[in-house]
Chain A
Amino acid sequence: MDESIRAGVVEIEGHGGDQIQAYFAEPLESGSRPGMVVIHHMPGLDRQTKETVRRFAAQGYFAISPNLYWREAPGAEPDDAAAAARARGGVPDERLVGDVAGAADFLRARPSASGKVGVIGYCSGGRQAVLAACHLPLQAAVDCYGAFVVGQPPEGFPIPISNLTAQLPDLGCPLLGLFGEEDQHPSPAETAELDALLTGHGKQHEFTTYPGAGHAFFAVDRPSYRPEAAVDGWGRIFAFLSRTLEG
Chain B
Amino acid sequence: MCTYLTKRLEVVGSGKGATGWMRVTSASVYLDHPAHAPADHTLNVDLLNPALGPAARVALELEPQSARQLAEAILEMLAAETVTPAA
Contacts and interface: CB of A to CB of B under 8 A. Distances in A.
Does B associate with A? yes
Determine chain A's interface SS by DSSP, over half rule: loop
Interface residues of A, number: 38
- Could you say which interface size class chain B belongs to? 20 to 34
Contact of B28 (A77, A87, A161): A87
Contacts of A197: none
A241 to B, nearest CB: 24
A120 to B, nearest CB: 16
A80 to B, nearest CB: 4
B86 interface: no
B2 A87 contact: no
Interface in A174-207: 183-185
Contacts of B40: 214-216, 222-224
Given A83-B54, A215-B40, A158 B1 contact: no
Nearest to A87: B28
A72 B54 CA distance: 8
Interface of B: 1-8, 26, 28, 30, 32-33, 35-36, 38-40, 46, 48, 50, 53-55, 57, 59
